[in-house]
């Protein structure tokens, strides 16, 4: 079976990108990365991709008159790469509804909270302030609304009594690095179905779409 071709959009260090690169380095993994795009030329994630032999592009949003033209340039590069799915991995630009529509159900994101809680920024500080006992991360399909869209997979960690923002963030990030490849595998294996805005998981390798505190 042909491997699913994937493009990844980044803006920074690319630690989740590295998790995807590591997973796709296994020839038995059902997906392969064919392009990494960054809007920041100095993003370290570009170096990660180059070391793995994956094509890279810098598309600087500052050189475009508006978001629509920037997104059009990205779409053209992604289409040219042959990618069938787009993963956002620390991509710090809001996408236009038009771009999201073109890639509907083929565009996913990882967010550092258990959505729908704590959408947006500063999720770990907000989780601590709210006193939640479980925190985590979510992989979801992207819709025009920020950090919205059907949930594909989630990973949870306990919030400990002595946690500060950095300790909690580090524990969540470790789960992110496991969850994103898992979600990509579920998609690439064709195990997901979407009904009334809810993702269902079935068949395949037996992996579930949840990483819990006991894992």
Active site residues: 111
Partners of 211 in the β-ladder: 155
Cα dist. 85→75, 78, 88, 122 in Å?
Answer: 12, 9, 10, 27
Contact of 135 with 99, CB cutoff 8 Å: no
DSSP for residue 2? P
Phi-psi region of 211 (alpha: psi -120 to 50; beta: other; left: phi over 0): beta
CA dihedral over 195, 196, 199, 201, signed as positive or negative? negative
Quick check: 75 and 100 in contact, CB under 8 A? no
Q: Tokens 């550092």 appear where?
A: 112
Place of tokens 């600087």: 60
Give the bridge partners for 86, in sequence order.
7, 107
């Amino acid at each position: 079976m042909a491997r699913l071709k994937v493009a990844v959009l980044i803006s920074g260090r690319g630690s989740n990108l590295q998790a995807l690169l590591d997973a796709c380095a296994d020839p038995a993994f059902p997906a392969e990365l064919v392009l990494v795009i960054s809007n920041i030329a100095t993003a370290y994630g570009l170096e990660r991709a180059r070391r793995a032999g994956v094509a890279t592009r810098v598309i600087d949003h500052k050189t475009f008159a508006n978001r629509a033209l920037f997104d059009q340039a990205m779409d053209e590069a992604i289409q040219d790469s042959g990618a069938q799915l787009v993963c956002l991995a620390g991509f710090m630009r809001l996408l236009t509804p038009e771009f999201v529509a073109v890639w509907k159900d083929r565009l996913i994101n990882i967010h550092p909270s258990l959505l729908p809680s704590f959408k947006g920024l500063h999720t770990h500080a907000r989780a601590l302030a709210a006193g939640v006992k479980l925190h985590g991360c979510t992989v979801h399909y992207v819709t025009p609304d920020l950090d919205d869209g059907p949930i594909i997979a989630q990973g949870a960690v306990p919030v400990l009594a002595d946690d500060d923002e950095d300790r909690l963030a580090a524990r969540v990030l470790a789960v992110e690095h496991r969850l994103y490849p898992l979600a990509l595998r579920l998609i690439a294996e064709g195990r997901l179905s979407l009904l009334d805005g809810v993702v269902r998981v079935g068949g395949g390798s037996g992996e579930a779409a949840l990483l819990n505190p006991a894992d």
